[in-house]
Amino acid sequence: MAKAILLLSALCIVALANFAHCHSEVFDVEGKVYCDTCRVQFETKLSENLDGATVKLQCRNISTEAETFSVEGVTDKDGKYKLTVDGDHENDICEVTVVKSPREDCKESVSGYEKARIECSNNVGIHNAVRYANPLFFMKAESVQGCKEALDELGLFPLEF
């Protein structure tokens, strides 16, 4: 009888420990914003990190499109941001969007490239509370000198600069 009670007690302790170890419903979303100095819509060695760019993370319900969560943040000197998302958003579409550039000479956004979609749910096969968004950017009005050479180094054949 004592062995059965001891075994039952051990099983209860293991069950409680497993329950206490369940996943939290808080996610950190990390990403980067840069200035596309060559106007090629991807990062090159001439791209510049944007310090002070405003980004917004918004989650919307898939069915109703009602906003379920929203938070804004600002990039640091390396162009990086970190936003905290509360709650599991399994039934939502979550996207990070560039809102405002801190630089007048680099403020043009490109339709279709101003957002990065991310998953903010424990039920997507990702075993980490950090989610990484694709880099976002603003473009200069005109490309800077050296872009042709930078793209040639990559083996790309750009249009006239």
Encode pLDDT of 45-63 as tens digits.
999 999 999 999 999 999 9
CATH fold group of domain 22-154: Immunoglobulin-like (2.60.40)
- 80-86/54-61 β-pairing: unpaired
What are the domain boundaries of the chain? 22-154
Chain segment 16-47, per-residue pLDDT in tens: 444 444 445 888 999 999 999 999 999 999 99
Quick one: DSSP state of residue 135?
Answer: P
CB 89 within 8 A of CB 120: yes
Q: Considering all CA atoms of the chain, what is the largest pairwise distance in Å, rounded to the nearest integer?
A: 87
Chain segment 70-108, per-residue pLDDT in tens: 999 999 999 999 999 988 888 888 999 999 999 999 999
φ, ψ for residue 79, nearest 5 deg: 80, 10
* Angstrom distance (rounded) from CA 124 to CA 64: 21
